[in-house]
Structure 1
Amino acid sequence: MTPDLFENCDEGPSGREELAPGALVLRGFARPQAEGLIAEIAEISTRAPFRQMLTPGGQRMSAAMTNCGPLGWISDRHGYRYEPCDPLNGKPWPPMPASFLHLAADAAAAAGFPGFVPDACLINRYEPGTRMSLHQDRDEQDLAAPIVSVSLGLPAVFLFGGLNRSDRSDRLALMHGDVVVWGGPSRLRFHGILPMKEGTHALLGRQRINLTFRKAV
């Protein structure tokens, strides 16, 4: 599916698409809740502002990030890890809203992973030109739990690769409200986001917000 088909659209189709064993796209799954989710994100970011974290090598990451929930994912010169407190202010990360927990659990169950209770939600903010290089989500102790990824705002091209960085990556256009769930045999697949194209979304303007729910411990 080519991203050009969606350049001027705020909403895509509904339904399910299988990416690989244990990996699904739930088209439009979060769309009915989008305005409430965006309001919650705004509240979270007043308490834990978005910031561009440093990689262990000292490079500043492209996307701006924050977290909510008992644990937050951070990156700095000491490495990638989960911490219970925001390093900017030393305070616990904002609580994960009930709407976030319900959405994550419902999406996971719809993809065949019942009983998912995330303890971390990484919130990424993308603007035109922002990207996310291919990587694995492997900093979690509980690799039996899936990853649930929610797209809001501008469309993006999601790269979904294999278990090795050199494996070919499929390109998938993600629209406002789409949810990707991967676990089981696909849990450690490499994935990323191509540089965002210019655009304006009715609810988020020149932004894409991604919620990534994880069970860290």
Structure 2
Amino acid sequence: MDAELFPRTRVKIAPGAVHVPDWLDPAQQRELLAACREWARPPAGLRTVRTPGGGTMTARQVCLGRHWYPYGYARTAVDGDGAPVKPFPAWLGELGRRAVADALGPDAAGLDGAAGGERGAAYDIALVNFYDADARMGMHRDSDEKSGAPVVSLSLGDTCVFRFGNTGTRARPYTDVELRSGDLFVFGGPSRLAYHGVPRVHGGTAPPELGLTGRLNVTLRVSGL
């Protein structure tokens, strides 16, 4: 990938939605991966998410700050082992604020660690999703928060197809974006409630030096709770 004929550049996918390739360098990717491995350990570790209809998500998940379950947040892993949720680290919140500033501009990150113009708001929730080569994520909206602050998405490991749609329907129009290890995707403003999903993971495409089989997606949000 380092020898690409045309280097990848940042792309505005929709108003308020920006893809920044290679935002995390290899050392930062290794540090974030090490943290994800610690977060995935029990208690309140990596679990399979069950949907209200009785199905299961193929991507497994661990949460920080607050525990997400369909369709709400709790202080404990209510659909897991019931343990208290692991705390959301301050350094991860700073990473989220910097990501928004780099993708959408310094004004989007606010003047006091806020995001999306909400003074006093700060990133306080992380959803870490693990995908093996057969995992998928259906089209959905991140709509369980009380805040309109931008969502920050960081990718580690295998390359995936990230499908970014519109705010009205799960169907077209949408744009398929290739997300590789180290890539950043931020969506806020008019795109904050856009439908999005992962229809495909390209197994075996992770950087060998990372030592990860599969894909990790670290999604940062402001709860507003």
- TM-score norm. by structure 1 comes to 0.86
Number of residue pairs the alignment of both structures matches: 203
2:56 to 51, 55, 60: 60
| AA in 2 matched with 1:109 | A
Checking the alignment, whether the CA contact within 8 Å between 1:40 and 1:97 is kept in structure 2 is no
Counterpart contact for 1:127–1:196, Cα < 8 Å? yes
- 1:120-159 alignment to 2 at 5 Å? 120-142=125-147, 144-159=148-163
From 34, 39, 46, the equivalent of 2:34 is 39
Of stretches 166-175 and 151-160 in structure 1, the one that deviates more from structure 2 is 166-175
Query: Secondary structure, in 3 states, of the residue corresponding to 2:33?
Result: helix
- The amino acid of 1:182's aligned partner reads F
Contact 2:159 2:205 in 1 (8 A): no
Instruction: State the partner residue of 2:118.
Output: none
How far off is 1:89 after superposition?
3.3
Q: 1:196 aligns with which of 192, 198, 201?
A: 201
CA distances 1:114-134 after superposition (whole Å, capped 9, x unpaired): 123211100000000111011
| Alpha-carbon spacing, 1:135–1:83, altered in 2? closer, same or farther (3 Å) | same
Q: Which residue, out of 64, 79, 101, partners 1:109?
A: 101
In 1: Cα distance, 2:29 partner to 2:223 partner: 25
- More relative contact order, 1 or 2 (CA 8 Å, 6+ apart): 1
Q: Which of 72, 82, 87 lines up with 2:73 in the alignment?
A: 82
Counterpart among 170, 173, 179 of residue 184 in structure 2? 179
Query: Partners in 2 of 1:123 and 1:50 — Cα distance?
Result: 9
Q: More deviation in 19-28 or 202-211? A: 202-211
Identity %: 35
2:63 matched to 1:72? no
Give 3-state SS (helix, strand or coil) of 1:99's partner: helix
CA root-mean-square deviation: 2.0
Cα distance in 2 for partners of 1:140, 1:207 equals 28
Q: Which runs of 5+ in 2 are unaligned?
A: 116-121
Shift of 1:204: 4.1
What does residue 3 of structure 1 align with? none
Which amino acid is 2:101 matched to? A
- The alpha-carbon distance between structure 1 residues 27 and 200, as it changes in their structure 2 partners (threshold 3 A), is closer
Aligned residue identity for 1:205: L
Cα deviation, 1:159-190, whole Å, max 9, x if unaligned, reads: 01111222321111001110100010111111
Equivalent residues of 2:93, 2:124 under 8 A apart: no
SS of 1:52's partner is: strand
Counterpart for residue 218 of structure 2: 211
Asked if structure 2 preserves the Cα contact closer than 8 Å seen for 1:14 and 1:29, the reply is no
Amino acid at match of 1:127: D
Q: Matches of 1:24 and 1:67 in 2, distance apart?
A: 24
Q: What SS does the corresponding residue of 2:177 show, helix, strand or coil?
A: strand
- TM-score of the aligned structures, taking structure 2 as reference length: 0.83
Change (3 A) 1:13 1:42: farther
